[in-house]
A and B are shown apart, each in its own frame.
Chain A
Amino acid sequence: MANSLNKTSLLFNNFALIFIFMSASLFAQPDFFSAKYRLEFGNYLYAEKDYLRAFHEFRNVLKTIDNDTIRFRLANSLFKISRMSEAADNFKTLFFGSALSEEARLMFYQSAYFLNDHKWFRELTEQENYQTTKYKNEVERLKSITYFYDKISLPDTNILFKPFHDSVHTRLAKFYKQKKYPQYKSPTAAAVLSSVIPGAGKIYTGEIGDAVAAFLSTAALAYLAVSNFNAEHKFRGWLFTGLTAVFYGGNIYGSAAAAQIYNARIRFNFENEVKLYFEERNYFLPRIDF
């Protein structure tokens, strides 16, 4: 009887042990830091546009898995968070022996474009080993756009407008005209005008209120100087003469400065207008994503 009880107890113990092991293995957590889970999480973050964290996940995945799509997504994540230099370098890794080579080349040029070194960008488009056949026209468009931002003289319209569709030529012609013949004001002319009549240079630059204030302040100080001399108040006469000279000179200088500010504003507004126009149209580039 005792022997039978021992056997039952042993069987029960064994059963309990097996049950515990089985349940432990059933409820064991998967390795969330494995490449598979990291990739899934990275893709989720990428879809949610959380590009910085997606980049970190993709970077870890690429330590164990080499995949062109992941590399493209990693580079694109860097592009989306404006780390253009790193994005360009990562797109470069897909240039050879990859099915995404052409897309990577276009994205490489896009990243390089946003580094805002337009002269370097134009030189880059000439490099044979970087050139794309599928997106040649798109790259040429980016190259044409850079001319609108630089101080260098614009090339002929036939060359500049060639990569663009005919429907946008009218708008581009307007930008071309604005860039080539800006409505600048001459600082010298503004200074000369103000030296003849205080405030005239300010009228020339469109600052009517400042012009009236300049004319009245100079005239009032000059009147005070003359009236004090006439009243034999020599000290006050010379004091107001000095102040008149300072305000007269200040107005001449200020008119020249106002002309320069006017010119800077014209350039600033033009660059903003061009930037906004191309940004709204994604620089006439296809949206590439995988």
Chain B
Amino acid sequence: MRLFFLIISICACSLSAQSDWAKWEAKQIPYEIPASHQQEYKIDSSDLGMTLISFAHNTYNFFVSDLDGDNCPFYPSCSSFFVLSVKETNIILGTLMFADRFTRDLNFFKGMNRYPIAANGKFIDPPSNYTMHIQKIKFD
């Protein structure tokens, strides 16, 4: 009888024992920075130029930006900044504004540049601040 209980106890222990394998097995950890907002693919059909630019922007988002993750420290992101700049001014000024933004993005110490900071931690830097119209400049 004693032997029977001993066997039962040992069997029960081994049946409910935790597997070390489950505890120490490799985990799939996503290292991609999750996007703070859902990307919308929209074509701006206000004119031919904007249609082409927004198409190129969506293509870039689909094949590059969305796969790479939400890395741009600015809001709006550099690619969106280009589209918005062209929309607000024209293709030439928009390109120059984008080149300037891209250069500012290369600055390792941009955090010291007194950009307002959004709730998601990004630097708020709208294209309207760079259109050379002082009335359009906003700091909040």
- Asked whether, in the complex, the Cβ of B100 is within 8 Å of the Cβ of A209, the reply is no
- Asked whether, in the complex, the Cβ of A246 is within 8 Å of the Cβ of B95, the reply is yes
A residues less than 8 Å from B130 (CB atoms): 253-254, 257, 261
Q: For chain A residues 199-247, which have a beta carbon within 8 Å of chain B?
A: 207, 209-210, 212-214, 216-217, 246-247
- Asked whether, in the complex, the Cβ of A264 is within 8 Å of the Cβ of B113, the reply is no
User: Can you list 6 A-B pairs, Cβ within 8 angstroms, ordered by A?
Assistant: A213-B104, A253-B96, A253-B99, A254-B103, A263-B134, A265-B139
- Asked whether, in the complex, the Cβ of B104 is within 8 Å of the Cβ of A249, the reply is no
What is the size, in residues, of chain A's interface with B at 8 Å between Cβ atoms? 25
Q: How far apart are A188's CB and chain B's nearest CB, in angstroms?
A: 11
- Asked whether, in the complex, the Cβ of B113 is within 8 Å of the Cβ of A249, the reply is no
Q: For chain B residues 72-122, which have a beta carbon within 8 Å of chain A?
A: 93, 95-104, 106-110, 112-114
**Further contacts, 4 of them, CB under 8 A, given A250-B98, A254-B104:** A213-B106, A246-B95, A254-B99, A257-B97
B residues less than 8 Å from A187 (CB atoms): 132
**Known A-B contacts A249-B96, A254-B100; A209 and B110 likewise in contact (beta carbons under 8 Å):** yes
**Number of inter-chain CB pairs below 8 Å:** 77
User: Is A256 interfacial (CB-CB < 8 Å)?
Assistant: yes
- Asked whether, in the complex, the Cβ of A250 is within 8 Å of the Cβ of B96, the reply is yes
User: Is A268 interfacial (CB-CB < 8 Å)?
Assistant: yes
User: Is A260 interfacial (CB-CB < 8 Å)?
Assistant: yes
A residues less than 8 Å from B56 (CB atoms): none
Q: How far apart are A27's CB and chain B's nearest CB, in angstroms?
A: 57
A residues less than 8 Å from B113 (CB atoms): 207, 209-210
Q: How far apart are B124's CB and chain A's nearest CB, in angstroms?
A: 13
- Asked whether, in the complex, the Cβ of A210 is within 8 Å of the Cβ of B139, the reply is no
Alpha-carbon gap, A253 to B103, bound state (A): 12
**Known A-B contacts A250-B96, A250-B99, A268-B139; A256 and B110 likewise in contact (beta carbons under 8 Å):** no
Chain A, 60-72, contact with B by CB distance < 8 Å: what is the 0/1 string? 0000000000000
B residues less than 8 Å from A90 (CB atoms): none
A-B CB proximity, top 3 nearest: A250-B99, A254-B100, A209-B109
Q: How far apart are A265's CB and chain B's nearest CB, in angstroms?
A: 7
User: Is A251 interfacial (CB-CB < 8 Å)?
Assistant: yes
Q: For chain A residues 242-290, which have a beta carbon within 8 Å of chain B?
A: 246-247, 249-254, 256-257, 260-261, 263-265, 268
Q: How far apart are A102's CB and chain B's nearest CB, in angstroms?
A: 39
